[in-house]
Amino acid sequence: MKKNERPVPLRGIVCLPRWLMISGVALSGACIAFGVGLVVHAALPAEGSGEVAGAIGGAIGCIVGGAGGLFGTLCDWRRRLPATVYLRHVQHDAPHPMWRWFRPALALLAAALLVAALFDQWTLCYPVIQLSGIMAFLAGTIEAIRRHSTRRARAVFALYADGLLEPHDTAAIDATRAQDPTFDADVRAYLQISQQVDDLLLAGLD
């Protein structure tokens, strides 16, 4: 290992929170903007009062939903920022409980699409297609994010063990170790194996 290597900033390793935040803000912002557009549309002279009421209802839905999305995105962004968040992924590297629904939901979705296409029963199959599609999407997305986060968490952990995280991230992980003896024991075991491996490889395997 190179001596005096420059510390690695956490944002250089963990990019998912940034992308989730950008996507969440963009989607929520678009939703709010669409709601504002509906308000403007409702304010303009319209022929039927039903159209105005519908536009206002839609606008309220878009604005409230978009604001909720924005709030959730920013909370999630803050929650995912500290280095210690990722250590939980290293400690509990197991598939998310929802993952077991992914394949059944995908199979159901495929079956419903096939039946709807073969027998031209789209209206009848629509609820099944919608429900199984949502389930498959959620289960797949959550597990994909979990796997990605676990890989990033391993990177954070390895950099911490080699003393390459920035001081404030290192201090946060040190504080977590001080509070959690199990985690501290895990870190010590990791460092011990890491040192043994490096010694063995430096000495040569042959």
Partner 1 sequence: MIAETFTAWRERLVRFAAQLLRDRHDAEEVVQDVFARLLAQPDRFDLGQAPEVLLFRMVRIGCIDVTRKRRPRSNVDVEPAAPPADDHIDLREALARLPRDERETLLLTAVDGLGYREVAEILGCSLGTVAARRCAAITRLRERLTP
Q: Within a 10 A sphere around the Cβ of 37, how many other Cβ atoms?
A: 14
Q: Is the dihedral of CA 10, 11, 15, 16 positive or negative?
A: positive
Percent helix, strand, coil in the chain (nearest 5)? 85, 0, 15
| Per-residue binding letters, 78-117, with partner 1 (x by CB under 8 A) | ------------x---------------------------
Minimal distance, residue 91 CB to partner 1, in Å: 11
Considering only residues 7 to 36 of the shown chain, the ones binding partner 1 according to CB under 8 A are 8, 12-14
Minimal distance, residue 11 CB to partner 1, in Å: 11
CA–CA separation, 2 vs 16, rounded Å?
28
Pick between residue 59 and residue 172 the one whose CB is nearest to partner 1: 172
Pick between residue 157 and residue 183 the one whose CB is nearest to partner 1: 157
Size of the site for partner 1 (CB under 8 A): 33
Of 24-32, 55-63, 132-140, 189-197, the segment contacting partner 1 by CB under 8 A is 189-197
Six token digits for residue 80: 């995912």
CA–CA separation, 192 vs 113, rounded Å?
54
Pick between residue 14 and residue 135 the one whose CB is nearest to partner 1: 14
- Structural Rg of the chain based on CA atoms: 25
The secondary structure of 30-76 as a DSSP string is: HHHHHHHHHHHHHHS--S-HHHHHHHHHHHHHHHHHHHHHHHHHHHH
Minimal distance, residue 73 CB to partner 1, in Å: 23
| Per-residue binding letters, 138-167, with partner 1 (x by CB under 8 A) | -------------xx-xxxxxx-xx-x---
| 3-class DSSP state of 205 | coil
User: Which residues of the chain form contacts with partner 1 (CB under 8 A)?
Assistant: 1-2, 5-6, 8, 12-14, 90, 151-152, 154-159, 161-162, 164, 189-190, 193-194, 196-198, 200-202, 204-206
